[in-house]
Amino acid sequence: MAKNFTTRAENYSQWYNDIVKKADLAENSAVRGCMVIKPYGYAIWEKMHDALDKMFKDTGHVNAYFPLFIPKSFLSREADHVEGFAKECAVITHYRLKNSPDGSGVVVDPEAKLEEELIVRPTSETIIWSTYKNWIQSYRDLPLLCNQWANVVRWEMRTRLFLRTAEFLWQEGHTAHATEQEAREETARMLNVYADFAENYMAMPVIRGVKSPNERFAGAIDTYCIEAMMQDGKALQAGTSHFLGQNFAKAFDVQFLNKSNNLEYVWATSWGVSTRLIGALIMTHSDDNGLVLPPKLAPIQVVIIPIYKNDEQKAAISEKVQVLMEQLKAKGISVKYDDDDSQRSGWKFNEYEMKGVPVRVAIGPRDLESNQAEVARRDTLEKCSCSFDGLAETIEKLLDEIQANLFRRSQEFRDANIRRADTWDEFLSILDEKSGFVYAHWDGTTETEEKIKELAKATIRCIPFDNPLEEGKCILTGRPSKQRVLFARAY
């Protein structure tokens, strides 16, 4: 069974790249740092999109769309914001090409220089708040709860498929509220939506918390996040929700008249998740045989593979399969019957295994005789013969069981890899030898945080909500600390 698969243990990065390639999810494009998301990869994103979009709407949000281009002056209105993004912006300076004088193609027409450069959005706070100014006059216009599905561009130095690309797809919610409390509640609500999605759809356990000032979103008062642990023990920020205070309202002069006829600045939030979640999905569940998808996000939940030697057998199997297909579809289960003659059954087994299809049903002449089917589950690779009677129900239950098992399994892995360190040596040896998350005391200063990052290559992932208070000494400086914070090396 030659799969030419790099194993997780051999080289985790290579293994990751192999999965992306062999499961046919994405590839690098001709454009530096940009990614082509292939149909199968995009189908997973669509599943994520649909589930999240419903959750947003259930929490009162609506979708809208704002321009791709942001005038340079908009970006610089909020000082922290522009500072945070300036280093990775794509800038548009001209709007026209012309034939090159020497006839060798086209050149940028110097006559067509823009008076003001346009920035390809790295995030949309500025363009949206410049628009919100016109939408908000009265407390009756609030809250304003918009989301947009869009692409953004951040010119990263080094890129990795899904995890960090120059252009990526995401959703960004931008809300405006009359009071600080309401905005803070919104920030928390949306973080919980993300955590709910991560755990119940992606089957990926996450830790909710608040970022240290150093890791905060540029322009935010507070950044909340969900942090997940990948199978190599590294952390991945899976979603963020920002409380922006009145920073953007002040920068873009967005005020409203309250019930007492007084002008007030509005309170803002923004929150987002990206195609990076697909990378998270890969690194949370997949194994050395390929991708493993949780049933709730699998474009194909069940694949049925016929095993036959001639058309007669195939016809008999197909007839039986049609009934099963109808039953599965009636239950809302997505099912594919692969009766392609050009590939053999063994090839198909491997193909769908690499693609992470949760359940495979194989039916051959032997099964027809015994009124059974071979049912294999992707998460444990176990196979069993199941009676054809009630098979649709059996599969429906199995999908639930796989979803639950994936969550349980990744939660057990994560919990087994969260440790405490009380000394610097202990801290380093955990990171170097065991990897995973480390709870350790920190003196609360940015200076120390940066020093730790420099020395250990680990960052504070978050200060978890409901973090127990505990007297201790900073792992690096020995200064007093009131609580442990969560450290890890991160993607």
Partner RNA sequence: CGGGGUGUGGCGCAGUUGGUAGCGCGCUACGUUCGGGACGUAGAGGCCGCAAGUUCGAGUCUUGUCACCCCGACCA
Instruction: Tell me the closest approach of the beta carbon of residue 274 to RNA, in angstroms.
Output: 5
| Site track for RNA across 449-468, x = CB under 7 A | --------x-----------
Single out the residue of 378, 394, 377 nearest to residue 386, CA to CA: 394
The CA distance from 53 to 375, in Å, is 33
Handedness of CA 43, 344, 399, 336 (dihedral sign): positive
For RNA, the closer of residues 96 and 457 by Cβ is 457
| Site track for RNA across 222-261, x = CB under 7 A | ---------------x--x---------------------
Given candidates 124, 171, 231, 289, which one binds RNA under the rule CB under 7 A? 289
Stretch that binds RNA, among 74-82, 262-270, 271-279, 425-433 (CB under 7 A): 271-279
| Site track for RNA across 66-95, x = CB under 7 A | ---------------------xx-------
| Site track for RNA across 31-70, x = CB under 7 A | -x--------------------------------------
Instruction: Tell me the closest approach of the beta carbon of residue 328 to RNA, in angstroms.
Output: 18
Does residue 168 belong to the site contacting RNA (CB under 7 A)? yes
Exposed e or buried b per residue across 264-276, where buried means at least 16 C-beta atoms within 10 angstroms of its C-beta: ebbbbbbbbbbbb
Helix axes 391-416, 311-330, angle to 10 degrees: 70
**Residue 198 phi, psi dihedral angles, 5° rounding:** -60, -45
Contact 453, 490 (CB under 8 A): no
Residues in 300-339 at the binding interface with RNA, rule: CB under 7 A: 307-310
Instruction: Name the burial class of residue 93, with classes exposed (0-12), middle (13-18) and buried (19+) by CB atoms within 10 angstroms of its CB.
Output: exposed
Stretch that binds RNA, among 104-112, 163-171, 174-182, 190-198 (CB under 7 A): 163-171
Given candidates 136, 354, 392, 430, which one binds RNA under the rule CB under 7 A? 354
Residues in 197-226 at the binding interface with RNA, rule: CB under 7 A: 217
The full DSSP string for 146-157 is EEEEEEEE---S
Contact 301, 399 (CB under 8 A): yes
Given candidates 186, 351, 396, 449, which one binds RNA under the rule CB under 7 A? 351
The full DSSP string for 425-452 is HHHHHIIIII-SEEEEE--S-HHHHHHH
The CA distance from 462 to 300, in Å, is 35
Instruction: Tell me the closest approach of the beta carbon of residue 244 to RNA, in angstroms.
Output: 14
Stretch that binds RNA, among 45-53, 140-148, 268-276, 476-484 (CB under 7 A): 268-276
Does residue 376 belong to the site contacting RNA (CB under 7 A)? yes
Looking at residue 222, the DSSP 8-state letter turns out to be E
How far, CA to CA in Å, does 235 sit from each of 140, 245, 448?
Answer: 42, 28, 20
Instruction: Tell me the closest approach of the beta carbon of residue 392 to RNA, in angstroms.
Output: 18
The CA distance from 40 to 22, in Å, is 11
| Site track for RNA across 88-127, x = CB under 7 A | x---------------------------------------
Contact 40, 308 (CB under 8 A): no
For RNA, the closer of residues 346 and 480 by Cβ is 346
How many of the chain's residues bind RNA (CB under 7 A)?
Answer: 55
Instruction: Tell me the closest approach of the beta carbon of residue 351 to RNA, in angstroms.
Output: 4
For RNA, the closer of residues 166 and 321 by Cβ is 166
Strand 383-387 versus strand 437-441 pairing type: unpaired
Looking at residue 3, the DSSP 8-state letter turns out to be -
Instruction: Tell me the closest approach of the beta carbon of residue 309 to RNA, in angstroms.
Output: 5
The CA distance from 376 to 388, in Å, is 14
* Residues at the interface with RNA (CB under 7 A): 1-3, 13, 17, 22, 28, 32, 87-88, 154, 156-160, 163-166, 168, 217, 237, 240, 274-276, 289, 307-310, 344-347, 349-351, 353-354, 360, 362-368, 374, 376, 381, 383, 457, 491
